[in-house]
């Protein structure tokens, strides 16, 4: 080191370089990590987004409407946060769980009793998964009511519906892993629902040639009774197939949001005069781009690109505005899930016992609306009606193509009235038809020997679906607006799902009979 | 631009998150068992008699304890709280530290037997509520109350040994089981009547198998069995069970019931010295299978629960008039339409030899000599006239349809394959000790022709449609 002055003018020695590098480790590492360091200007803020793998899915700039909490309510981010939480907690649980029917139940017991933080992690996994169902549904409701499934987002809605289905199935498969009584009998019910087409093939007498129901059940269970093979299958679905499906679909979902111009937003937000920023669309008078026209990026990208002449004045840099919002909602979700998990334990009943049927044997709560329909007709309730409902959801953006009032809750005053009206009408209809069935029974009670085909064709579930479709068509006719029809249809779908689920969960007791609460059940 | 909103949201959420992670960690770091272990350690340190004991006590590490029993497939963590179970110093301590009572642990080293093999409960659980597994813990086999604990001994030991060495409750329960006629209605290991439920393996049946609604106190198997003995209809309203037991007998029988388990202990755990097969003499068999309904068989009695009169099968007048072949047929095939089970090998599972022993016992006081022959086949019976006579003479007790039944003194007459000669003799001579009086010349004064007519009509009853 003494010689350092002598050789200053020459290239520094290797050790000196080493020392310098060591001293500047912090800044050089951070520089490589953040590439351009902490952003200080709008230009560098943009660079952060563009240069970061995790952030580059976002736009460099974000429209301020997107950031308004009252517009999205953060529901999409909450759903995604729940998924991340479920993935992490699920990875934790996988360490302690092995999918063998001899050990699975004991593994869960050990997770509950001796694994450090195991009970909490299991609760977190359980509740974040089930909360996903609620928040994905709410997210869909937000998309419908704010008219956000249009202008290129039609297919993204389809992906959203697929994600909803996968969310249901991934929850269901998880429900079966503890191999307790709940798991076992839910698996039996689900397998029977999978076998529901048998009801139809039996009627036509073709079951022995074409037993699609029975075969589906066998494929699901890996046999005719739930056992080790079923558990293996369910486990693989839960930890590999469905998570991969979710990640793929979610990737496309996010990517398309970006390609479709970010979140939908109103063309204009009208001032209410109460300090709300009055935002009007940019009134362009000059420039080479004509007013109110969007441009593709030459021939490379068709359709709409995010920022061309699209309210650029009302955007802010995503860093930090958007990311703060996202992180805040993630932390909020995490805090809520952990708080809930702290107080409420995930259920775990006795070890699975094929000799002792649960009575009532119930699927997990989110399927109890379906189970209620299944109690009318196995095929229609288990496959026909949900299939039609999903088809109906998928078709919403293709049957309602009115391009006005995008990004505004309920589109307009009329939309609010239609939503309210549909809510009341469907609530009355669903409760009424349930009350009718509970009090007076259905065909099988009146004519015990009636052919099953009659019940498949005419049962309360079908009538309800028919009513919902007919009513929304009537709304379209009355209002001359397919948008109103969409609002009406979705409202009725949501109301039916909630009421049927509530009925199946709370009001149905042993032998699927009606009770106001579980305390009135005859046994136990 | 709402940044302030999101920032405050972030701040509040973070605080909530930190708070809950904090209390969650705190809960993890301070489980119930740690308190117990600390208390135990402190107690030992404080009460150490000499320096070396004190040092040893101080070296006790606080940590989860577990007895892993590979062949029993159990992980018993009970000792995490019950730390003094092998410590003589703790003989008078409060639970959970008290030493195990008696000298049981001498022959049953805890490292080999663990805890739940005898005491049940949830060995994997690490908190009191779930380890004892009593109420709403979704555990099928909660800890066995001390008064029934002897039932566990029978998993490995034979009755003779139990009788002498600390398992007398099981042994006495077993005697009661044989004397109270339980198997008259309940099958056990394929043998027994079918009026009641099969009780094979009842001791290891899951909770959900039993209707718990009316059970007082903890809803578990032990209370169910005990209270079901106290008053069957209190627990299962539609039950027909007859149980007349004292409090002590009910507890002993409950103990014995709990020994009926499906799972068997591994070979190297069991200690069977001398199996004494249950006695198969007529008296024992009668008690085991018949006594619950027929009592001593001397008198016929109206049973409130069965709502019919139960015949007096030991009655000399009866045994005199019936021959063994006929009796054997009745026992083997039962009396359809009544509570009497078919006892043959394929039904209730009694062997021919056992039935013969029972018949020998029933007819032990059979008077010498045969009844005077009636000669039914010699009469030309008129069923029409018999019906009229039946309505007048018999219907009051036996009912218009001959079923006997509710509030009737008579027994059911709708019996297939009944011997008309036997019937005629019974009508003529009556059955002393029962309300059935002689209807012949010596009694009511009917002629043999009248009796033959009536018997002919009675025989048609079993063929007529059931009403």
CATH number of the domain encompassing residue A246? 1.20.810.10
DSSP at B465: P
CB atoms B211 and A524 under 8 Å: yes
Q: Smallest CA–CA separation between B178 and chain A, in Å?
A: 29
**SS3 at position A149:** coil
> Which residues of B are less than 8 Å from A109 in CB distance?
122, 124-125
Contact present, B390 and B454 (Cβ < 8 Å) = yes
Return the minimum-mean-pLDDT range out of A6-20, A105-119, A345-359. Answer: A6-20
Partner-chain residue, chosen from B9, B27, B122, that has the shortest CB–CB distance to A332:
B9
Give the pLDDT band (50/70/90) at residue B282: confident
Instruction: Give buried/exposed letters for A335-348 (b at 16+ CB in 10 A, else e).
Output: bbbbbebbeeebeb
Q: Cα(first)–Cα(last) distance of chain A, in Å?
A: 86
Q: Smallest CA–CA separation between B25 and chain A, in Å?
A: 7
* Spatial CB neighbours of A104, under 8 Å, sequence gap ≥ 6: A97, A98, A177, A178, A179, A231
Return the minimum-mean-pLDDT range out of A8-12, A147-151, B422-426. Answer: A8-12
Name the phi and psi angles at B137, rounded to 5.
-110, 5
Residues A236 and A111 in one domain: yes
DSSP at A315: E
Specify which residues B303 forms β-bridges with.
B308
Residue A164: pLDDT over 90:
yes
Residues A104 and A210 in one domain: yes
pLDDT digits (tens, 9 = 90+) for B412-446: 887 776 788 888 888 888 887 788 888 888 777 88
> Which residues of A are less than 8 Å from B16 in CB distance?
335-336, 339
**Best CA proximity match to A354, nearest among A518, A198, A228, A524:** A228
Residues A398 and A317 in one domain: no
Q: What's chain A's average pLDDT?
A: 85
Task: Report yes or no on A201 lying in a domain.
Answer: yes
Would you tell me how many other CB atoms lie within 10 Å of the CB of residue B105? 14
The predicted structure's pLDDT at residue A8: 52
pLDDT average, residue stretch A450-454: 84
CB atoms B124 and A113 under 8 Å: yes
What domain count does chain A have?
A: 2
The predicted structure's pLDDT at residue A151: 82
**SS3 at position B309:** strand
Residues A185 and A135 in one domain: yes
Tell me the domains of chain B and their CATH numbers: 32-143 (no CATH), 148-268 (1.10.760.10), 285-461 (1.10.760.10)
How many helices (H) and strands (E) would you count in chain B?
21, 4
Task: Report yes or no on A1 lying in a domain.
Answer: no
Partner-chain residue, chosen from B1, B17, B140, that has the shortest CB–CB distance to A67:
B1
pLDDT average, residue stretch B215-220: 86
Our CA dihedral for B278, B279, B283, B285, rounded to 10 degrees, sits at 50
CB atoms B6 and A64 under 8 Å: no
Residue A294: pLDDT over 60:
no
DSSP at A63: E
Q: What's chain B's average pLDDT?
A: 87
Name the phi and psi angles at A297, rounded to 5.
-80, 80
Residue B216: pLDDT over 90:
no
CA-atom Rg of chain A in angstroms: 28
Tell me the HSE value of B467 on the side-chain side, using a 13 A CA sphere. Answer: 10
**Best CA proximity match to A338, nearest among A176, A170, A126:** A126
CB atoms A329 and B213 under 8 Å: no
Given the structure tokens 């394959």, which residue do they identify? B417
Q: Smallest CA–CA separation between B415 and chain A, in Å?
A: 36
Q: How far is CA B99 from CA A238, B79, B115, B142, B389, in A?
A: 47, 11, 13, 21, 78
The predicted structure's pLDDT at residue A273: 40
Assigned token pair, B283:
């008296």
The predicted structure's pLDDT at residue A311: 62
Task: Report yes or no on A409 lying in a domain.
Answer: yes
Whole-angstrom Cα distance, residue A268 to residue A246?
Answer: 34
**SS3 at position B271:** strand
Whole-angstrom Cα distance, residue A261 to residue A301?
Answer: 12
Task: Report yes or no on A28 lying in a domain.
Answer: no
**SS3 at position B365:** helix
CB atoms A316 and B1 under 8 Å: yes
The predicted structure's pLDDT at residue A307: 45
Partner-chain residue, chosen from B2, B21, B64, that has the shortest CB–CB distance to A114:
B64
Question: Percent of chain B having pLDDT more than 90?
Answer: 26
Give the pLDDT band (50/70/90) at residue A298: very low
Q: How far is CA A389 from CA A209, A298, A421, A513, B355, in A?
A: 29, 40, 20, 26, 67
pLDDT average, residue stretch A209-235: 91
Residues A202 and A349 in one domain: yes
Helix (H), strand (E) at residue A480 = none
The predicted structure's pLDDT at residue B207: 80
Assigned token pair, A326:
């996202």
CB atoms B77 and A114 under 8 Å: yes
ipTM score of complex: 0.83
CB atoms B3 and A320 under 8 Å: yes
* Spatial CB neighbours of A108, under 8 Å, sequence gap ≥ 6: A97, A122, A178, A179, A180, A348
Domain that holds residue A193: 40-283+311-358
Task: Report yes or no on A247 lying in a domain.
Answer: yes
Q: Which long-range contacts (CB under 8 A, 24 or more apart) does B83-92 make?
A: B83/B36, B83/B37, B83/B40, B84/B40, B85/B110, B86/B110, B89/B44, B89/B47
Task: Report yes or no on A371 lying in a domain.
Answer: yes
H helix intervals, A195-284: 197-203, 212-221, 228-236, 242-259
Partner-chain residue, chosen from A110, A324, A356, that has the shortest CB–CB distance to B3:
A324
CA-atom Rg of chain B in angstroms: 33
Q: Smallest CA–CA separation between B263 and chain A, in Å?
A: 15
Taking CB atoms and an 8 Å cut-off, how many pairs form between chains A and B?
A: 104
The predicted structure's pLDDT at residue A512: 86
Specify which residues A408 forms β-bridges with.
none
Our CA dihedral for A20, A23, A25, A27, rounded to 10 degrees, sits at -100
The predicted structure's pLDDT at residue A9: 59
Whole-angstrom Cα distance, residue A246 to residue A166?
Answer: 7
Contact present, A454 and A442 (Cβ < 8 Å) = no
Task: Report yes or no on A2 lying in a domain.
Answer: no
Contact present, A406 and A263 (Cβ < 8 Å) = no
Whole-angstrom Cα distance, residue A380 to residue A193?
Answer: 10
Give the pLDDT band (50/70/90) at residue A284: very low
Q: Who has greater pLDDT, A248 or B312?
A: A248
Given the structure tokens 């009926």, which residue do they identify? B260
CB atoms B2 and A67 under 8 Å: yes
CB atoms B20 and A339 under 8 Å: yes
Residues A492 and A421 in one domain: yes
> Which residues of B are less than 8 Å from A342 in CB distance?
20, 23-24, 27
Task: Report yes or no on A291 lying in a domain.
Answer: no
Instruction: Give buried/exposed letters for B296-318 (b at 16+ CB in 10 A, else e).
Output: ebeebebeeebebbbbbbbbbbb
Chain B interface residues (partner A, CB cutoff 8 A) = 1-3, 5-7, 9-10, 13-14, 16-17, 20-21, 23-25, 27-28, 64, 75, 77, 122, 124-127, 130, 138-140, 206-209, 211-213, 219
Q: Of A303, A323, A358, which residue sits at a domain end?
A: A358
Give, to the nearest 10 degrees, the angle between helix A154-175 and helix A118-145: 150
CB atoms B138 and A120 under 8 Å: no
Nearest-CA residue of chain B relative to A345?
A: B137
Partner-chain residue, chosen from A67, A69, A324, that has the shortest CB–CB distance to B10:
A324
> Which residues of B are less than 8 Å from A68 in CB distance?
2
Partner-chain residue, chosen from B2, B14, B140, that has the shortest CB–CB distance to A68:
B2
pLDDT average, residue stretch A7-20: 79
CB atoms B2 and A69 under 8 Å: yes
Residue B408: pLDDT over 90:
no
CA A464, A465, A468, A470 torsion-angle sign: negative
Residues A247 and A388 in one domain: no
The predicted structure's pLDDT at residue A37: 66
Q: Smallest CA–CA separation between A340 and chain B, in Å?
A: 10
Partner-chain residue, chosen from A114, A331, A350, that has the shortest CB–CB distance to B17:
A331
> Which residues of A are less than 8 Å from B139 in CB distance?
350
The predicted structure's pLDDT at residue B224: 92
H helix intervals, A354-412: 368-374, 378-379, 385-399
pLDDT digits (tens, 9 = 90+) for A168-179: 999 999 999 999
Whole-angstrom Cα distance, residue B434 to residue B422?
Answer: 17
Residues A317 and A379 in one domain: no
Name the phi and psi angles at A457, rounded to 5.
-75, -45
Residue A275: pLDDT over 70:
no
Residues A336 and A389 in one domain: no
Assigned token pair, A361:
């044997």
- Selection from A122-136, B217-231, B368-382 with the highest mean pLDDT: A122-136
The predicted structure's pLDDT at residue B397: 86
Residues A200 and A52 in one domain: yes
Residue B21: pLDDT over 90:
yes
> Which residues of A are less than 8 Å from B20 in CB distance?
335, 338-339, 342
Query: pTM for the whole thing?
Result: 0.84
DSSP character string of A414-468: HHHHHHHHHHHHHHHHHHHHHHHHHHH--HHHH-TT--HHHHHHS-HHHHHHHHH
Residues A354 and A371 in one domain: no
Name the phi and psi angles at A281, rounded to 5.
-60, 150
CB atoms B138 and A68 under 8 Å: no
> Which residues of A are less than 8 Å from B26 in CB distance?
none
pLDDT average, residue stretch B199-222: 86
Specify which residues A180 forms β-bridges with.
A351
**SS3 at position A175:** helix
Return the minimum-mean-pLDDT range out of A306-320, A409-423, B146-160, B422-436. Answer: A306-320
The predicted structure's pLDDT at residue A337: 96
Whole-angstrom Cα distance, residue A515 to residue B423?
Answer: 55
Give, to the nearest 10 degrees, the angle between helix B448-461 and helix B383-393: 90
Assigned token pair, B239:
């039950």
Q: Cα(first)–Cα(last) distance of chain B, in Å?
A: 86
Would you tell me how many other CB atoms lie within 10 Å of the CB of residue A430? 22
Residues A206 and A278 in one domain: yes
Specify which residues B157 forms β-bridges with.
B271
User: Which residue of A350, A361, A509 to mutate against B (max B Cβ within 10 Å)?
Assistant: A350
Q: Of A358, A389, A415, which residue sits at a domain end?
A: A358
User: Which residue of B2, B198, B201 to mutate against A (max A Cβ within 10 Å)?
Assistant: B2
Q: Who has greater pLDDT, B45 or B368?
A: B45
Q: Who has greater pLDDT, B168 or A266?
A: B168
Assigned token pair, B220:
């578990």
Name the phi and psi angles at A43, rounded to 5.
-65, -45
Chain A interface residues (partner B, CB cutoff 8 A) = 64, 67-69, 106, 109-110, 113-114, 116-117, 120, 180-181, 316, 320-321, 324-325, 327-329, 331-332, 334-336, 338-339, 342, 348-351, 353, 356, 358, 522-524
């Amino acid at each position: 080191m003494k010689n350092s002055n002598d050789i200053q003018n020459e290239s520094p020695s290797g050790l000196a370089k080493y020392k310098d590098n060591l001293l500047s480790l912090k800044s050089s590492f951070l520089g490589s990590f953040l590439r351009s360091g902490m952003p200080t200007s709008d230009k560098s803020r943009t660079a952060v987004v563009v240069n970061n793998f995790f952030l580059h899915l976002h736009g460099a700039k974000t429209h301020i409407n997107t950031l308004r909490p009252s517009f999205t309510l953060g529901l999409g981010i909450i759903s995604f946060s729940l998924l991340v939480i479920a993935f992490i907690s699920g990875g934790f649980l996988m360490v302690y769980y092995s999918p063998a029917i001899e050990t699975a139940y004991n593994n869960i017991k050990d997770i509950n009793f001796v694994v450090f933080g195991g009970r909490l992690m299991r609760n977190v996994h359980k509740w974040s998964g089930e909360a996903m169902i609620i928040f994905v549904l709410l997210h869909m409701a937000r998309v419908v009511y704010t008219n956000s499934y249009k202008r290129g987002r039609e297919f993204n809605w389809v992906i959203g519906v697929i994600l909803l289905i996968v969310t249901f199935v991934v929850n269901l498969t998880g429900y079966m892993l503890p191999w307790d009584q709940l798991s076992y009998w839910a698996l039996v019910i689900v397998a029977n629902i999978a076998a529901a087409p048998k009801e139809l093939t039996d009627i036509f007498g073709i079951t022995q040639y074409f037993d699609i129901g029975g075969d589906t059940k066998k494929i699901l269970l890996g046999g005719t009774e739930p056992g080790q093979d079923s558990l293996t299958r369910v486990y693989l679905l839960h930890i590999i197939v469905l998570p991969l499906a979710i990640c793929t679909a979610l990737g496309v979902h996010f990517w398309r949001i970006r390609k479709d111009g970010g979140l939908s937003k109103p063309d204009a937000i009208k001032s209410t005069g109460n300090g709300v920023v009055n935002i009007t669309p940019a009134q362009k008078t000059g420039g080479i781009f004509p007013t109110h026209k969007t441009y593709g990026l030459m021939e490379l990208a068709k359709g709409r690109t995010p920022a061309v002449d699209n309210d650029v004045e009302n955007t802010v840099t995503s860093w930090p505005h958007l990311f703060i919002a996202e992180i805040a909602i993630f932390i909020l979700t995490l805090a809520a899930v952990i708080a809930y998990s702290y107080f409420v334990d995930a259920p775990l009943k006795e070890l699975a016992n094929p000799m002792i049927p649960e009575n009532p044997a119930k699927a997990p709560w989110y399927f109890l609306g379906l189970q209620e329909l299944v109690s009318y007709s196995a095929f229609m309730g288990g496959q026909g009606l949900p299939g039609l409902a999903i088809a109906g959801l998928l078709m919403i953006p293709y049957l309602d193509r009115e391009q006005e009032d995008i990004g505004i809750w309920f589109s307009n005053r009329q939309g609010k009235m239609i939503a309210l009206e549909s809510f009341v009408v469907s609530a009355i209809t669903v409760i009424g038809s349930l009350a009718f069935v509970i009090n007076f029974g259905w065909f099988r009670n009146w004519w015990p020997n009636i052919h099953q085909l009659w019940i498949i064709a005419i049962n309360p579930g079908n009538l309800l679906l028919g009513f919902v479709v007919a009513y929304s068509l009537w709304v379209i006719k009355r209002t001359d607006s397919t948008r109103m029809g969409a609002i009406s249809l979705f409202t009725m779908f949501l109301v039916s799902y909630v009421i049927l689920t509530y009925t199946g969960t709370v009001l149905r007791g042993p032998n699927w009979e009606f009770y106001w609460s579980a305390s009135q059940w005859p046994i136990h | 631009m709402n940044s302030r909103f999101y920032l405050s949201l972030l701040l509040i959420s973070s605080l909530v998150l930190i708070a809950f992670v904090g209390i969650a960690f705190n809960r993890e770091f301070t489980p119930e068992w740690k308190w117990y272990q600390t208390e135990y350690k402190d107690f030992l340190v404080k009460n150490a008699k000499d320096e070396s004991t004190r040092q040893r006590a101080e070296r006790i590490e606080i940590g989860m304890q577990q007895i892993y029993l590979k062949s029993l497939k159990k992980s018993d963590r009970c000792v995490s709280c019950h730390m003094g179970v092998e410590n003589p110093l703790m003989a008078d301590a409060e639970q959970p530290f008290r030493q195990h009572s008696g000298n049981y642990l001498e022959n049953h080293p805890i490292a080999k037997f663990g805890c739940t093999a005898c005491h049940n409960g949830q060995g994997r659980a690490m908190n009191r509520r779930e380890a004892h597994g009593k109420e709403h813990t979704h555990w099928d086999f909660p800890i066995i109350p001390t008064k029934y604990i002897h039932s566990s001994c029978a998993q490995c030991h034979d009755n003779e040994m139990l009788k002498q060495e600390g398992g007398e409750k099981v042994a006495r329960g077993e005697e009661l089981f044989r004397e109270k006629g339980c198997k008259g209605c309940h099958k056990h290991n394929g043998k027994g009547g079918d009026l009641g439920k099969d009780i094979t393996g009842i001791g290891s049946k899951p909770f959900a198998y039993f209707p718990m609604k009316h059970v007082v106190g903890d809803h578990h198997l032990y209370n169910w069995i005990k209270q079901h003995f106290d008053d069957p209809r209190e627990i299962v309203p539609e039950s027909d069970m007859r149980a007349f037991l004292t409090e002590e007998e009910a507890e002993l029988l409950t103990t014995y019931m709990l020994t009926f388990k499906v799972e068997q202990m591994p070979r190297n755990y069991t200690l069977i010295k001398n199996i004494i097969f249950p006695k198969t003499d007529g008296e024992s068999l009668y008690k085991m299978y018949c006594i619950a309904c027929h009592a001593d068989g001397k008198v016929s009695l109206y049973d409130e629960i069965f709502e019919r009169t139960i015949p007096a099968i030991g009655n000399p007048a009866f045994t005199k008039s019936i021959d063994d072949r006929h009796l054997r047929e009745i026992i083997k095939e039962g009396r359809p339409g009544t509570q009497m089970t078919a006892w043959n090998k394929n039904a209730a599972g009694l062997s021919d030899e056992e039935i013969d022993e029972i018949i020998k016992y029933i007819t032990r006081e059979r008077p010498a000599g045969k009844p005077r022959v009636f000669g039914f086949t010699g009469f030309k019976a008129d069923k029409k006239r018999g019906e009229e006579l039946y309505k007048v003479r018999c219907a009051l007790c036996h009912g218009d349809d001959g079923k006997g039944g509710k509030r009737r003194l008579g027994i059911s007459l709708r019996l297939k394959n009944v011997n008309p000669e036997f019937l005629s003799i019974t009508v003529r001579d009556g059955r002393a000790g029962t309300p059935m009086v002689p209807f012949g010349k010596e009694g009511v004064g009917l002629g043999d022709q009248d009796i033959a007519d009536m018997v002919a009509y009675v025989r048609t009853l079993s063929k007529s449609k059931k009403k």
